[in-house]
Amino acid sequence: MNKGFISTYYITVFLLVVSLSAMISVNTQNRLRTTGNMVRVCSYLESENAVISMVKCSLKNQTEMNGTYQNSGTFFDVRWNHPEILVQIYSPVQESLIITWSQEKNQIYDYEVYRNESGF
């Protein structure tokens, strides 16, 4: 009777340890995936911020940007298509922006982002 109790006790402890280590492993994997996604999102936001700040400056100076530009390590192509500005970002991440702006106030209202998120 004593041997069966000890065997049951050890199998219970073993299953508890295996379950706990599996939960820790899954949690660590999810944290790493989340961290990778956050790094990727931050690179998208940095690129968008560099482009939008340059477009805002162009609007304040009342000059139209057409062509390929670089700002803060971001390479992008700008095409004015009234009342929208079409932007194609090439580096460090690839995405497209459609910026809606007011011709009277020279202000950006909104922008839409189109990106290839196959790796997300």
Residue 87, pLDDT above cutoff 60: yes
- From the list 104, 94, 106, the residue with the least C-alpha distance to 65 is 106
6 against 81, higher pLDDT:
81
Terminal-to-terminal C-alpha distance of the chain: 56
Tell me the residue type at 74.
Answer: T
Q: pLDDT tens digits for 14-49?
A: 999 999 999 999 999 999 999 999 998 998 999 999
Neighbouring CB atoms inside 10 A of 55's CB total: 23
Which pTM value belongs to this model?
Answer: 0.73
